[in-house]
């Protein structure tokens, strides 16, 4: 069985809840302020670890109170943290999140995450069967070095290009599995997409973005489920009807669950269905990292259809 290695961001999420989001220039009364471990890298690592995968996180923390709290939390999840370094050159990454009516707005201040370098990821002991995961909350040169290291070791590379930004053809070609939503897909393909687009159009745009014939592009569609182009094969995973409380971290839950399943040797179709079920659980809870489900919880959801 393979392992999951996540090179990515580690943040403290400062969450403000309110009845509605403020308009530009407006102040609204909030309900409460909550502090949750977050960051896309940390979230994905927590999701994979809670689902039983041997998980290692590669990242940077500031030498501050948030950094100490985050290290303790991540260690309690069973995540290997020997590749998480502390720095005095920047504060721990922070996300300011407003949650209203189950939707969220997010402002991310990278802090120490911006200091993650190619040297940090170059010593990671990847082997065949492992899954190397990253996202766009760390510098792109570090991601490229991480994936070059992974492909040299015949490990699987999985990229979640969020928050969306331009990606070079060289980096895209290093990706075995690309996981993104329709907005991110449209941005990377320079095509306007919306929630009303049909399956055929989304697949056509994904095909335009494919860097290699064997590359898989998985498009998460929220309550509509998942659509994937795996080489030439199309995979459709139906959405799950649940009452969402907080969607923060749902995409990260999906990515971490997918990586955990692939590390166990699951086929892509089954891994996508599992990850979709895991994400449907996470949106029914507050917070990002703490909302990630266990394998038993996902198994129960899948058993109940």
Give the catalytic positions in this structure.
252
- Tell me which residue of 106, 134, 147, 135 sits closest to 288, measured CA to CA: 106
Q: Any binding-site annotation on 94?
A: no
Q: For tokens 């109170």, name the residue.
A: 65
Q: For tokens 């309550």, name the residue.
A: 223
Q: Check if the beta carbon of residue 255 is closer than 8 Å to that of residue 160.
A: yes
Measured on CA atoms in the order 57, 120, 116, 63, is the torsion positive or negative?
positive
Q: Any binding-site annotation on 304?
A: no
Show Cβ contacts of residue 60 under 8 Å, excluding neighbours closer than 6 positions. Answer: 10, 84, 85, 86, 87, 90, 112, 113, 115, 116, 120
Q: Any binding-site annotation on 305?
A: no
Q: Any binding-site annotation on 76?
A: no
Q: Any binding-site annotation on 282?
A: yes
Q: Any binding-site annotation on 247?
A: no
Q: Check if the beta carbon of residue 14 is closer than 8 Å to that of residue 35.
A: yes
Q: Any binding-site annotation on 168?
A: no
Measured on CA atoms in the order 36, 44, 70, 145, is the torsion positive or negative?
negative
Q: Any binding-site annotation on 291?
A: yes
Q: Any binding-site annotation on 207?
A: no
Q: Any binding-site annotation on 239?
A: no
Binding-site residues for K(+) sit at 246, 248, 282, 285, 287, 291
Binding-site residues for ATP sit at 181, 220-225, 251-252, 276
Binding-site residues sit at 11-13, 39-43, 137, 181, 220-225, 246, 248, 251-252, 276, 282, 285, 287, 291
């Amino acid at each position: 069985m393979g392992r999951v290695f996540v090179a990515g961001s580690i943040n403290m999420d400062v969450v403000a809840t309110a009845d509605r989001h403020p308009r530009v220039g407006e102040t609204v009364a909030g309900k409460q302020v909550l502090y949750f471990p977050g960051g896309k890298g940390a979230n994905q690592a927590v999701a994979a670890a809670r689902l039983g995968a041997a998980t290692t996180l590669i990242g940077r923390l500031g030498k501050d109170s948030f950094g100490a709290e985050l290290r303790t939390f991540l260690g309690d999840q069973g995540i290997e943290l020997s590749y998480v370094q502390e720095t005095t050159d920047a504060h721990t990454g922070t996300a300011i999140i407003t949650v209203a009516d189950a939707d969220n707005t997010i402002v991310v201040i990278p802090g120490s995450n911006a200091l993650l370098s190619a040297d940090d990821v170059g010593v990671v002991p990847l082997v065949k069967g492992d899954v190397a995961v990253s996202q766009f909350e760390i510098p792109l040169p570090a991601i490229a070095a991480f994936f070059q290291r992974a492909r040299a070791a015949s490990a699987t590379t999985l990229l979640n290009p969020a928050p969306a930004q331009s990606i070079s053809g060289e980096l895209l070609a290093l990706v075995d599995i690309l996981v993104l939503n329709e907005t991110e897909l449209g941005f990377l393909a320079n095509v306007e997409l919306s929630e009303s687009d049909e399956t055929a159009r989304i697949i056509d745009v994904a095909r335009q973005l494919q860097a290699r014939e064997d590359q898989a592009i998985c498009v998460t569609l929220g309550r509509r489920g998942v659509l994937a182009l795996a080489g030439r094969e199309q995979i459709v995973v139906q959405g799950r009807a649940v009452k969402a409380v907080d969607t923060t971290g749902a995409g990260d839950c999906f990515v971490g669950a997918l990586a955990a399943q692939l590390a166990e040797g699951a086929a892509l179709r089954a891994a996508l269905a599992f990850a979709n079920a895991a994400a449907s659980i996470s949106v029914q809870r507050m917070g990002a990292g703490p909302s990630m489900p266990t394998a038993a919880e996902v198994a129960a959801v899948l058993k109940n259809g």
